[in-house]
Structure 1
Amino acid sequence: MSAAMKEMPVKLPKSFDRPDEPWHHYLTIDVIWYVLGYTLFHPFVSWVIVLCLRAQYTPYGNIEMRVAMAWATLMTSIGLFGLVSDRIAWGSPREVDLAEEVIVITGGAEGLGGLLADTYGMRNANIAVLDTKVVSEDEAEQKGVLYYQCDVSDAKQVEAAAAKIVQDLGAPTILINNAGILHTKSILDTSAEDVERTFRVNTLSHFTTIRTFLPYMLQEGRGTIVTVSSVLGHLGAANLSAYSASKAALLALHHSLRAELAQNPAAKDIRTILVQPGQMGTRMFAGLETPSNFLAPVVTPAEIGKDIIKLIERGESGEVALPLYSRYIQILGVLPVGVQSLVRSWSGVDGAVERMVEVRGEMGRKR
């Protein structure tokens, strides 16, 4: 059951804010894979082809009928295997009623976190945002979101905010760890303070919020914890050493958390979601050009947010990885090191940040 939707004024982006692109700019491997998933690779569609051939009185012994039946059987087997694999990996879903859930989002004033907060606010959910940015009471009331000015890298501030949330909304049952910062510096130019600040916000804050809010979930007997990492946690990138390392640490944290929850009988209805996006079209990565718009398109917060919300409201554990390459990026690590070097060189991932800094500098001079 979902909460009732409320009206909320929004400002749609102007068409002239976006450059005109040719039609093939929007043709990506993700679009092709999506279409194939609902057509040629879908078990139902595969069996429809078999039925169409039988409607034409095609004999079972004909080659086209044999191929169609073999393909339909293969797609059905793969689909069933996927369902069984997911159930073994993630367990059965829990019941979710937004009216009875209290959602906490870190870094929810803008970007992906802001989109999630606004979406749940429009649905009259109990939503609390922890962010250093100050949001006016009028804006908060308009969005239907409670904002708590809080530096999530400070454990005492998080604990104080948690006490207020419990008093205002009740025990938190959904935690979306989204807060993050970015320093575009080389290792030699990165100070100890930069590294420490990055890890405190991007990594240590997850430990703090989990330690603070997980006891409430155990007490309520239900919950969902969302960990927002990055594909750079697998890849790393030049001039993003602190950011990449902090996101890589979150991968280990997520798997360790899952292992500990599996050993706790009181946590049988607590679900975990790992988010590993590629390049997102947010202010944090403004000016960063994707190496290949076809193979590595820029994903919008709406695309990532949609999948996060779907898993949360289904009460399921799982992983959100967009675009397509981010689902299989771990395969790169098992390839010969020479192939890995060629892929990195061809992709341009290690020169992207330097170009982004140059673009931002040019934009700043134009202003």
Structure 2
Amino acid sequence: MEAPYTTPPQRDSWFAPLSIDLLVKVLRTSFFHPFIAWIVPLCFRAQNMFWDAPPMLVSIAWATFISVCWIFGTINARLAFGLPREVDLSEEVIVITGGASGLGLLIAEVYGMRGATVAVLDVKEMESGEARGVTYYKCDVTDKAQVARVAADIEKDLGTPTVLINNAAIVVGKRLLDMSIEEIDKSLTTNLVSHFYTLKTFLPGMTRSELGGTVVTVSSVIGQIGAAQLTDYAAAKAGITALHKSLSAELRETHPQIRTVLVTPGQLSTPLFYGVQTPNTFLAPVVEPVDVAKEIINAIDNGHNAAIGMPLYARWVEWYNVLPLGVQAVFRRLAGVDAGMKTFLGRAGAKHSSKNGVLI
């Protein structure tokens, strides 16, 4: 008999949309923005306040401090990522693995509507059916022979790929002792080894292209902190983060026309992690795919090297590993990191609830 389906608890409190990310975003466009900061002393001066008045001095000091921070931030980004490459969407051929649903599908549809040439590689049919400007290729990225065959088809049909978005992923969601060797192999091959297959297949064409290229690696914050019931997934994501950093160093020396973008999101609101409940919506809000897609598309469009971390804690999580082990253990308990997967349902649960009118 089929087990009864239980809908995950919903967050319906009035303060659910409030998060630290929202507060930081508001502050960055108000008190922490140079333009706004300098308006304050100008308003004081418009009121005929003397330059040496305490409120005037404090506001000028604050505006100067914020301006210096923004200048240093710009210099830091230039030193870290270098100059951008020129991007012409009409000339770009974008390959997206795992692009039949979720984040990959969203990026594919946006670029297809904007006139770029997009190739989606996935073992599943596209959820939205046909999309304008998007060509679907049935491909299991864990099979290097299939990847090579599809790459030849893309070269013949669309041209030489200039953007590769490695987005394909699966989640088993079991404890290590409960997983079979076959499940471990499939998870590591999909989440880690397939990146080597696609890079070895598509990157040589980018290095020969006058347009250069962009490689996007979709990793996860779990690769830096780990979590119960995600041993395979965390190991693979840690691996592709290290792969990305090492590859970026190589390309910086040998092929500076290639840009690299590392994406390390927290929990995404996609079927991949359906059922998982974030323990703290204020400090660790669930990330909407559209927000991540915006950042990825912005980096590709502007030809930037980039490191994208969402939500806020994902950009600072590396400091967690610097803390004493006892402090780390306390933080893990308070954050509920290792309890999140207890309600995991995955894609199967998402499909089930969709049929019953729960998931839209």
Is TM more than 0.5 here? yes
Paired residues for 1:147-166 under 5 Å: 147-166=136-155
Q: Does residue 194 in structure 1 map to residue 183 in structure 2?
A: yes
**Alpha-carbon separation, structure 1, partners of 2:123 and 2:11:** 36
> What one-letter code is carried by the residue in structure 1 that aligns with 2:143?
D
**Alpha-carbon separation, structure 2, partners of 1:101 and 1:357:** 37
**Alpha-carbon separation, structure 2, partners of 1:325 and 1:67:** 31
Shift of 1:364: 6.5
**Alpha-carbon separation, structure 1, partners of 2:350 and 2:78:** 51
Secondary structure, aligned partner of 2:214: strand
**Alpha-carbon separation, structure 1, partners of 2:335 and 2:156:** 50
TM score, norm. by length of structure 1:
0.90
**Alpha-carbon separation, structure 2, partners of 1:242 and 1:285:** 15
**Alpha-carbon separation, structure 1, partners of 2:77 and 2:159:** 32
Cα distance change, pair 218–357 in 1 and its aligned pair in 2 (3 A): closer
> What one-letter code is carried by the residue in structure 1 that aligns with 2:319?
I
Return the match for 2:340 from 352, 358, 361. Answer: 352
Once superposed, what is the RMSD of the aligned Cα atoms?
A: 2.2
Q: Does residue 312 in structure 1 map to residue 300 in structure 2?
A: yes
1:334 matched to which residue of 2? 322
> What one-letter code is carried by the residue in structure 1 that aligns with 2:337?
V
Q: Does residue 35 in structure 1 map to residue 23 in structure 2?
A: no
Return the match for 2:222 from 232, 257, 266. Answer: 232
1:10 matched to which residue of 2? none
Q: Is the 2:102–2:289 Cα contact (8 Å) retained in structure 1?
A: yes
**Alpha-carbon separation, structure 1, partners of 2:73 and 2:342:** 41
1:79 matched to which residue of 2? 70
Paired residues for 1:210-229 under 5 Å: 210-221=199-210, 222-229=212-219
Return the match for 2:257 from 247, 269, 277. Answer: 269
Secondary structure, aligned partner of 1:128: strand
Q: Does residue 254 in structure 1 map to residue 244 in structure 2?
A: yes
**Alpha-carbon separation, structure 2, partners of 1:86 and 1:48:** 26
Q: Does residue 127 in structure 1 map to residue 118 in structure 2?
A: yes
Q: Is the 2:221–2:314 Cα contact (8 Å) retained in structure 1?
A: yes
Return the match for 1:343 from 331, 335, 341. Answer: 331
Deviations 1:309-350 (A, max 9, x none): 001001101111111111101111111211111100011110
Secondary structure, aligned partner of 1:73: helix
Q: Is the 2:101–2:126 Cα contact (8 Å) retained in structure 1?
A: no
Cα distance change, pair 20–162 in 1 and its aligned pair in 2 (3 A): same
**Alpha-carbon separation, structure 1, partners of 2:351 and 2:123:** 26
Cα distance change, pair 35–253 in 1 and its aligned pair in 2 (3 A): same
1:285 matched to which residue of 2? 273
TM score, norm. by length of structure 2:
0.92
Cα distance change, pair 54–37 in 1 and its aligned pair in 2 (3 A): same
Q: Percent identity?
A: 47
Secondary structure, aligned partner of 1:321: strand
Shift of 1:55: 1.0
Secondary structure, aligned partner of 1:61: coil
Secondary structure, aligned partner of 1:147: strand
Q: Is the 2:95–2:161 Cα contact (8 Å) retained in structure 1?
A: yes
Secondary structure, aligned partner of 2:142: coil
Shift of 1:362: 12
**Alpha-carbon separation, structure 2, partners of 1:23 and 1:63:** 41
Deviations 1:244-301 (A, max 9, x none): 110000110010001110120xx22110000000000001111110010111111111
**Alpha-carbon separation, structure 2, partners of 1:83 and 1:28:** 26
> What one-letter code is carried by the residue in structure 1 that aligns with 2:66?
M
Shift of 1:139: 3.0
Secondary structure, aligned partner of 1:197: helix
Q: Is the 2:34–2:67 Cα contact (8 Å) retained in structure 1?
A: yes
**Alpha-carbon separation, structure 1, partners of 2:21 and 2:267:** 14
Q: Does residue 173 in structure 1 map to residue 167 in structure 2?
A: no
**Alpha-carbon separation, structure 1, partners of 2:58 and 2:246:** 45
> What one-letter code is carried by the residue in structure 2 that aligns with 1:167?
K
> What one-letter code is carried by the residue in structure 1 that aligns with 2:74?
L
> What one-letter code is carried by the residue in structure 1 that aligns with 2:249?
A
Shift of 1:79: 0.4
> What one-letter code is carried by the residue in structure 2 that aligns with 1:323?
P
Secondary structure, aligned partner of 2:327: helix
> What one-letter code is carried by the residue in structure 2 that aligns with 1:60?
W
- List, as ranges, runs of 4+ consecutive aligned residues in structure 1 with deviation greater than 6 Å: 360-367
Shift of 1:233: 0.4
2:100 matched to which residue of 1? 109
Secondary structure, aligned partner of 1:272: strand
> What one-letter code is carried by the residue in structure 1 that aligns with 2:49?
T
Return the match for 2:283 from 287, 290, 295. Answer: 295
